[in-house]
Structure 1
Amino acid sequence: MAVIPAASAADLAPRYTKAPPVMVEVWNWTGFYIGGNAGYSWGRSNSDVSYFNTATGLPIVPPAGSITSAAFDMDGGIAGGQAGYNWQTGSWVWGVEADIQWSGEKGRANYLCSAAVGGPCTPGLTAPPLSVVGTSLALDQSLEWFGTARLRGGFLVSPRVLLYATGGLAYGSLKTSGTLSGVTANLTPVSVFGSSSETRLGWTVGAGVEGKITQNWSAKLEYLYMDLGRYDSLTLSLAPVVPIGARVSSHFTDHILRAGINYQFGGPVIAKY
């Protein structure tokens, strides 16, 4: 009888198991995102005052010693939220973003239509005493809120870090309050208070850096310059007691520095190798 020897382990062909593909996460910037931010703003109001005679409507030429122009700081904290969309093409990222901000920016200035013998700043007083300095205006301004709608474009210095420039429309609500004070012909003090708020449309430009923390979360640091233009901010009058009034014209600009965090919708992109 023939005997067939059993095959030894050494006689068997080796078996190879294919290793699983390596999963690599790709940093993708394309998609919708929302987020929040906080920071500080260094605002500036350049405000001019023109005086007029309420009886005739004619402008008043203030005498020497008057204060008709002032540039004052309007600094304060800011906080708000943003939303946008990015498109990534290679190392370039393009996008649109809109934000809305609460603002604590405010400032103050004082103006004077100086008294003079027979001068126009103290109607009815031909020879004002030394205690009468003229018709004064105490002005307060604040930026109540603002927002922007901007384009963004930038370059990825690494897959996770974006340097970008941005610019577009800006808008905001500026509140102006003032107290106009003077004296009557019999030296009785008189004053009037008034305020107004106006929503202004302007422009903004800036730059920033944003870095991915995870595929969905990122953090950014951003600077913006904002200009809301010149506008007629407030008109006050002591009439009919004293025939004098004041008109205020203001130009507001702002330097904004803020840090923020964004959440990008959509899951991570996985590449197999």
Structure 2
Amino acid sequence: MPVAAFAADLAPRPVEPVAPVIEPVFTWTGFYMGLNAGYGRGTLDTDLRAIPTAAPAPLTRAIGFAVGGGFGKVKDTAGGFIGGGQLGYNYQFDQNWVVGAEADLQYSGIDSTAHAIGDDGNPITLKTKVDWYGTARLRGGYAFDRFLVYATGGLAYGEVKSKLSVPGESMSGSDTRFGWTVGGGVEYALTQNWTLRAEYLYVNLGKGKTIDKPTSDDISRITAKPDVAMHTVRAGVNYKF
């Protein structure tokens, strides 16, 4: 009997089951903010007009005169780096559909330098630059768990600068304008908080005056109206709260 009792003492103790780790269900609902960088390319076509008030100055002669004043169109394409930040809010409902709103502000290196020859043979140089721009957009998409496909569109705004030069004279100016944007993208959630995205936006800032000034001898007035439309692609990272 003592031997049997000793053997019973050596029996293995029962092992308690380990509770499974349950991963929280991911949702796109919540506020987020992040950074992005990419490339933009577009057309910066500019209407130039020279309206004489007396004998033509060098700048107005270079552009040339027609009925009612000199007029010319400078067509050019431009490209450059873009980068900035965004913040927004998403709401996920009915399991898969996601709606939200986002605002962003971008530094822009999109610029162009166009060269032409005026009516009197003088060279004309026109530099145009999108200095910065931003958007305020609505978003709507469909989520495949952690993968989101979305479309977006809304308001665009930004500052456009111009500098017009001929031998012996130059002038510059800028214009802050409003337009529209539309595009789409894909986004993937790496964790409950961090997401990565790739996005395309078409940004149209429209046409507005950047230069509307008299020449240095005050005998004519020059206007420049760039028409700005850009295609942009960018990658970004967001932190979701």
TM-score interval (norm. to shorter): 0.7 to 0.9
In the TM superposition, residue 44 of structure 1 has moved relative to its aligned partner by 1.4
2:29 and 2:197 map into 1 onto residues whose CA distance is 16
Structure 2 counterpart of 1:168, from 154, 162, 169 = 154
For the structure 1 residues 238 and 137, does the alpha-carbon distance in structure 2 shift closer, same or farther, using more than 3 Å as the test? farther
TM-score in terms of structure 1 length: 0.73
Structure 2 counterpart of 1:88, from 92, 115, 119 = 92
Q: Which amino acid aligns with 1:74?
A: A
| 2:39/2:82 contact within 8 Å kept | yes
Deviations 1:160-218 (A, max 9, x none): 1000000000111111111134xxxxxxxxx2222112111110000000001001000
Q: Which amino acid aligns with 1:138?
A: T
Percent of aligned positions with the same letter in both sequences?
40
The total of aligned residue pairs comes to 220
> Does 1:248 find its partner at 2:202?
no
In the TM superposition, residue 23 of structure 1 has moved relative to its aligned partner by 1.6
Larger Rg: 1
1:177 and 1:256 map into 2 onto residues whose CA distance is 24
Partner of residue 129, structure 2: 142
Helix, strand or coil: the match of 2:54? coil
2:71 and 2:113 map into 1 onto residues whose CA distance is 14
> Does 1:199 find its partner at 2:176?
yes
Q: What's the C-alpha RMSD, in Å, of the aligned pairs?
A: 2.6
Structure 2 counterpart of 1:78, from 63, 78, 82 = 82
Deviations 1:227-266 (A, max 9, x none): 001112213544538x44432121100101000000001x
Structure 2 counterpart of 1:261, from 228, 237, 240 = 237
What does 1:171-250 correspond to in 2, within 5 Å?
171-181=157-167, 191-238=168-215, 240=217, 243-250=219-226
Deviations 1:131-184 (A, max 9, x none): xx25x531101111111000000001x201000000000111111111134xxx
In the TM superposition, residue 67 of structure 1 has moved relative to its aligned partner by 8.3
TM-score in terms of structure 2 length: 0.82
1:38 and 1:16 map into 2 onto residues whose CA distance is 54
Partner of residue 3, structure 2: none
Q: Which amino acid aligns with 2:91?
A: W
What does 1:30-69 correspond to in 2, within 5 Å?
30-55=29-54, 60-61=65-66, 68-69=72-73
| 2:178/2:205 contact within 8 Å kept | yes
1:172 and 1:42 map into 2 onto residues whose CA distance is 15
Q: Which amino acid aligns with 1:109?
A: A
Q: Which range moves more in the overlay, 102-111 or 76-85? A: 102-111
1:38 and 1:264 map into 2 onto residues whose CA distance is 19
2:221 and 2:165 map into 1 onto residues whose CA distance is 11
Q: Which amino acid aligns with 1:147?
A: G
1:56 and 1:201 map into 2 onto residues whose CA distance is 37
> Does 1:98 find its partner at 2:103?
yes
Q: Which amino acid aligns with 1:164?
A: Y
In the TM superposition, residue 109 of structure 1 has moved relative to its aligned partner by 1.6
1:137 and 1:216 map into 2 onto residues whose CA distance is 53
Structure 2 residues without counterparts, runs of 5 or longer: 1-7, 9-13, 57-63
